[in-house]
């Protein structure tokens, strides 16, 4: 069987005030086209189907049309809820949809009940694990502590028990929405316990709350394929543990990321990357206003979403208006020239430089008491932030 592994559609999301409806419609067209052209048997959507718990009506209608088209093309569809989705709303009607070939996994008890498929080589079990908030599910799973590692490990063990009872030799696919060790973060992902800046690759460790929110890869060792969602860059953490990434760029930190999906073939365990180019390009531009408005730069980037940082010694007159007139898709504008207050001790600059929630708190503490938090205080901040998020 051939599986299309995708995730993080974030239907209903915009980009710095611009609508992405057209791009998301193109995304759904791309998925349907791949199913038709690549002879896909099943589509996996590993969480964050919508961008928020109450998506706009057009996003709900778009998903309904897309699921209908995929079924018409002969594909099974397996969907899990992510941390952006409302599990209850996404899961509405799931028992009725099951008969049509659309399988929605949005509740804890769904995690160890597989979608049972079969090809000429035997059974294939697909376990769809929805996003599980540790504070809400740890006790029910018998975990001593409420963190993502414990919850994921407990669910994985229940999956192994179920597989042993059904068919010990079955090829097994697990879908999950989490932050796995060695995965690279982007700026557009909502924090789910691991306070990580864009471009960083955190490791799992047992000593801190943040480290326990990063799930170790060995949890997936004896599964044939782990189709992960949450991180927006397509990446292979191992031969069998992979993120499909978001099909569309949702932050400037994703400007250079490869976008698309994975095709996994159960016949030989092979994986192939699909490259998609959907929507406008993204570009960070930094320089003087003369450079930013230069003919060559304009010709190349005037139709892209741009983030502009001016570096002139003196702030140019009507700088924002002039830049916006030339770049109709201006998403972000800032001035970092010598004319701006450059003291590193100002609170506003500390906020601008902060990359994570923890750094925002640390900047405040440094501002009001003239020293940064020490290690024990940093741990306390991490625990407090996790409680607030829960």
Report whether pLDDT(207) > 60. no
Tally of CB atoms within 10 A around 118 = 12
Specify whether 201 is located in the same domain as 290: no
Specify whether 86 is located in the same domain as 212: yes
Specify whether 257 is located in the same domain as 297: no
We report the CATH number of the domain holding residue 29 as 3.60.21.10
Output the pLDDT for position 191.
Answer: 85
Tell which of 302, 322, 340 closes a domain: 340
Taking all residues of the chain, what is their mean pLDDT, rounded to a whole number?
Answer: 92
Alpha-carbon gap, residue 72 to 15, rounded angstroms = 32
Report whether pLDDT(339) > 60. no
Specify whether 118 is located in the same domain as 139: yes
Alpha-carbon gap, residue 60 to 44, rounded angstroms = 18
Render pLDDT for 103-128 as a digit per residue (tens, 0 to 9).
Answer: 999 999 999 999 999 999 999 999 99
Tell which of 243, 275, 307 closes a domain: 275
Find the helix packing angle between 21-37 and 57-72, rounded to 10°. 10
Mean pLDDT for the stretch of residues 181-210: 79
Specify whether 258 is located in the same domain as 355: no
Render pLDDT for 70-92 as a digit per residue (tens, 0 to 9).
Answer: 999 999 999 999 999 999 999 99
Output the pLDDT for position 260.
Answer: 96
Output the pLDDT for position 342.
Answer: 45
Output the pLDDT for position 29.
Answer: 98
Residue ranges making up the domain that contains 65: 2-275
Specify whether 244 is located in the same domain as 373: no
Specify whether 83 is located in the same domain as 217: yes
CB 83 within 8 A of CB 106: no
SS (H, E, C) the chain: CEEEEECCCCECCEECCEECHHHHHHHHHHHHHHHHHCCCCEEEEECCCECCCCCCHHHHHHHHHHHHHHHHCCCEEEEECCCCCCHHHHCCCHHHHHHHCEEEECCHHHCCCCEEEEECCEEEEEEECCCCCHHHHCCCCCCCCCCHHHHHHHHHHHHHHHHHHHCCCCEEEEEEECCECCCCCCCCCCCCCCCCCCCCCCCCCCCCHHHHHCECHHHHCCCCEEEEECCCCCEECCCCEEECCCCCCCCHHHCCCCCEEEEEECCCCEEEEEECCCCCCEEEEEECHHHHCCHHHHHHHCCCEEEEEECCCCCCCCHHHHHHHHCCCEEEEEECCCCCCCCCCCHHHHHHHCCCHHHHHHHHHHHHHCCCCCHHHHHHHHHHHHHHHC
Specify whether 317 is located in the same domain as 209: no
Specify whether 228 is located in the same domain as 297: no
Output the pLDDT for position 341.
Answer: 45
User: What is the total count of domains within the chain?
Assistant: 3
Greatest extent of the chain over all pairs of C-alpha atoms, in Å? 73
Using pLDDT thresholds of 50, 70 and 90, give the confidence band for residue 299. very high
Specify whether 54 is located in the same domain as 76: yes
Tell which of 340, 355, 380 closes a domain: 340
Alpha-carbon gap, residue 242 to 381, rounded angstroms = 31
Specify whether 69 is located in the same domain as 55: yes
Output the pLDDT for position 206.
Answer: 67
Specify whether 179 is located in the same domain as 209: yes
Output the pLDDT for position 210.
Answer: 64
Output the pLDDT for position 153.
Answer: 96
């Amino acid at each position: 069987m051939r599986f299309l592994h995708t995730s993080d559609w974030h239907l209903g999301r915009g980009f710095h005030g611009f609508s992405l409806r057209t791009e998301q419609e193109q995304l759904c067209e791309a998925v349907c086209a791949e199913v038709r052209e690549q002879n896909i048997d099943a589509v996996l959507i590993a969480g964050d189907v919508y961008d928020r718990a109450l998506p706009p009506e057009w996003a709900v209608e778009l998903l309904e049309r897309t699921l209908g088209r995929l079924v018409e093309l002969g594909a099974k569809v397996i969907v899990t809820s992510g941390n952006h989705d409302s599990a209850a709303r996404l899961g509405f009607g799931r028992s009725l949809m099951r008969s049509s070939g659309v399988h929605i996994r949005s509740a804890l008890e769904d995690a160890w009940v597989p979608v049972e498929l079969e090809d000429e080589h035997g059974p294939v079990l697909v376990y769809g694990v929805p996003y599980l908030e540790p504070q809400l599910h740890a006790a029910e799973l018998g975990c001593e502590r409420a963190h993502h590692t414990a919850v994921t490990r407990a669910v994985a063990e229940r999956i192994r028990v179920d597989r042993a009872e059904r068919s010990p030799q079955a090829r097994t696919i697990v879908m999950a929405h989490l932050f796995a060790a060695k995965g690279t973060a982007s700026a557009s992902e909502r924090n789910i316990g691991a306070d990580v800046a864009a471009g960083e690759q955190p490791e799992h460790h047992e000593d801190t709350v943040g480290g326990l929110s990063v799930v170790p890869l060995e949890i997936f060792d004896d599964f044939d394929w782990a189709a992960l969602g949450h991180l927006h860059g397509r990446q292979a953490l191992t031969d069998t543990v992979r993120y499909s990434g978001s099909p569309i760029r949702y932050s400037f930190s994703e400007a250079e990321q490869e976008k698309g999906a994975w095709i996994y073939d159960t016949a030989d365990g092979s994986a192939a990357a699909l490259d998609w180019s959907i929507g406008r390009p993204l570009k960070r531009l930094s320089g003087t206003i003369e450079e930013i408005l230069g003919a060559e730069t304009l010709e190349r980037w005037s139709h892209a979403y741009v983030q502009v940082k001016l570096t002139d010694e003196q702030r140019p007159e009507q700088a924002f208006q002039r830049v916006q007139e030339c770049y109709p898709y201006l998403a972000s504008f800032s001035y970092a020239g010598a004319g701006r207050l450059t003291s590193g001790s100002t609170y506003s600059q500390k906020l601008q430089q902060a990359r994570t929630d923890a750094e925002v708190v640390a900047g405040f503490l440094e501002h009001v008491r003239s020293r940064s938090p020490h290690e024990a205080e940093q741990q306390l901040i991490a625990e407090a932030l996790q409680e607030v998020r829960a």
